[in-house]
Amino acid sequence: MSQASSSMERHAQTALVLIVVALLSWVGLTVNRNQLELAKLTIQVENLNDAVTTPPARLDDVIRRVDTIEAVVLTNGREEPDDRRD
C-alpha cells in the first residue's frame, strides 16, 4: 500500500510541476506581449506628441504667403503691381 501511495504522490508532484511550468510559461508570454504593446503605445504617444508640439507651418511662412496672396489680389491677379489707378 505504501508503494501505491508513493507512486500516487510522484504522479501528483509531476502534475503539479507541469501546472506550475505551464503557468510560469503563460505569465512570461503575457508579460512579453504586454511589454511589446506598451512599447508600441509609447512610440505612438511620442509621435502624437511631436505632431501636436510641431506647428504645421511657421508663422513667418504664413505671413509671407498671406502677403503674396494680398499682393496678387491687389494687382488684380497680375504678377506686377499696377501703377494706374481706376
pLDDT exceeds cutoff 90 at 61: no
Q: Locate the domains of the chain by residue range.
A: 2-54, 56-86
pLDDT exceeds cutoff 60 at 83: no
CA distance 18 to 9: 14
Strands, DSSP E only, in 1-86? none
**H or E element, residue 1:** none
pLDDT exceeds cutoff 50 at 3: yes
Q: What is the pLDDT of residue 1?
A: 57
For cell 505671413, the residue is 63
Contacts of 61 (CB under 8 A, 6+ apart): none
Q: What is the pLDDT of residue 27?
A: 97
Average pLDDT, the chain: 85
pLDDT exceeds cutoff 80 at 54: no
Q: Which residue has the higher pLDDT, 12 or 4?
A: 12
- Residues 18-41: what's their mean pLDDT? 96
Is residue 82 within 8 Å of 76, Cβ to Cβ? yes
